[in-house]
């Protein structure tokens, strides 16, 4: 495996399981010091995975691994994440991966404002606030990487009478929150262009069956509608060391792999 991220200071949100845990492991495998953050320190009520389990997997790579337990829906709670991470890492956050998300899937009709607000707080406001918290130090350093994990559900449908897939009728609110994330990412990239800070989003082309996704839609998908965790991570990690002029982009994991000739690796950094 390479030492591509040797000594880099990284924060990955939503890293108790799923895509976040995969990205965190791959970064540690390539030499990064990583701070993990999520709500679940020890055990979730019904989903597998926790911050302690992710930290235990990362420990074998010999880099520094820290944990910040935080509920990113809570504005005061998320305000702690970047300062506490920087204190543990012994320096400012150089790479921020905003992966944490809330996915509440219901039709818009009858969808409560409270639930909509939870998704927009987790999926749009929290990534923006964390990104803004990293900017001063990144600007002083003349470089930084912010990667926001989005979703294909952010795309518009052509409208009636287009057919719905079995899950589509439930994802309008979630998709709207991810569309907001894409727009915020693009706008922030424009604002900081020229400082060396890159801001991009990445989304899977097909479903990645993380623990949460498998529970929600796993039994509704055909094999051709599923993307491997390793491919998604490869497409995301590419954005964690992209050049300064690659910014403001809304990217797709498999497109990154194809367009830039990337080799998909296992989460421990070895080629597949």
User: Do 47 and 21 form a contact (C-beta atoms < 8 A)?
Assistant: no
In the set 174, 192, 199, 236, the catalytic residue is 174
Q: How many domains does the chain have?
A: 1
Residue 227 lies in a domain: yes
Q: Is residue 267 part of a domain?
A: no
Nearest Cα neighbor of 255 from 239, 271, 272 is 239
In a domain, 202, yes or no: yes
* pLDDT tens digits for range 139-185: 999 999 999 999 999 999 888 888 777 667 899 999 999 999 999 99
Which residue has 């910014």 as its token pair?
247
Q: State residue 209's pLDDT score.
A: 67
> Is the Cβ–Cβ distance between 102 and 118 less than 8 Å?
yes
- Judge whether 66 lies within some domain: yes
Residue 29 structural domain: 9-259
pLDDT at site 162: 81
Within-domain flag for 124: yes
Low-confidence ranges of the chain (pLDDT < 70): 1, 44-47, 166-167, 209-225
Predicted local distance difference test score (pLDDT) of residue 214: 47
Q: What is the pTM of this model?
A: 0.93
Please state, in angstroms and rounded to a whole number, the distance separating the CA atoms of residues 265 and 271.
4
pLDDT at 61 (0 to 100): 97
pLDDT of residue 222: 61
**What pLDDT was estimated at residue 186?**
98
Q: Starting from the edge strand earliest in sequence, which strands make up the sheet with 197-203, in order?
A: 65-69, 33-38, 9-13, 95-98, 144-149, 197-203, 250-252
The answer to whether 126 touches 100, Cβ cutoff 8 Å, is: yes
Q: How many whole angstroms from its chain centre is CA 163?
A: 29
As given in the structure block, the two tokens for residue 204 are: 């899977």
Q: Does the residue 94 lie in any domain?
A: yes
Q: Would 130 be classed as within a structural domain?
A: yes
pLDDT value of residue 269: 96
pLDDT score, position 261: 97
**Quick check: is 174 catalytic?**
yes
Question: Which CATH number do you get for residue 134?
Answer: 3.40.50.720
Would residue 87 count as lying in a domain?
yes
């Amino acid at each position: 495996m390479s030492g591509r991220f040797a000594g880099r200071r990284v924060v990955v949100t939503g890293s108790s399981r799923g895509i976040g845990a995969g990205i965190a492991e791959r970064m540690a495998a390539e030499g990064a010091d990583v701070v993990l953050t999520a709500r679940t320190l020890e055990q979730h009520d019904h989903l597998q995975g926790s911050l302690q389990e992710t930290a235990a997997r990362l420990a074998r790579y010999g880099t520094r691994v820290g944990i910040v337990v935080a509920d990113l829906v809570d504005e005061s709670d998320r305000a702690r994440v970047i300062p506490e991470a920087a204190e543990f890492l012994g320096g400012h956050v150089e790479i921020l991966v905003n992966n944490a998300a809330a996915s509440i899937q219901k039709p818009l009709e009858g969808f409560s404002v409270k639930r909509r607000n939870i998704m927009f707080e987790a999926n749009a406001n929290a990534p923006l606030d964390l990104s803004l918290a990293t900017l001063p130090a990144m600007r002083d350093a003349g470089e930084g990487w912010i990667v926001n994990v989005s979703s294909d559900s952010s795309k518009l449908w052509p409208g009636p009478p287009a057919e719905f897939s079995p899950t589509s009728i439930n994802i309008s609110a979630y998709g709207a929150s991810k569309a907001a994330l894409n727009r915020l990412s693009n706008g922030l990239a424009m604002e900081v262009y020229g400082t060396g800070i890159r801001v991009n989003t990445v989304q899977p082309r097909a479903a990645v069956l993380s623990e949460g996704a498998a529970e929600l839609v796993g039994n509704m998908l055909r094999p051709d509608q599923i993307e491997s965790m390793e491919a998604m991570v490869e497409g995301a990690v590419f954005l964690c060391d992209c050049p300064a002029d690659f910014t403001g982009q809304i990217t797709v994991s498999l497109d990154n792999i194809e367009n830039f000739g990337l080799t998909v690796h296992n989460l421990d950094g070895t080629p597949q």
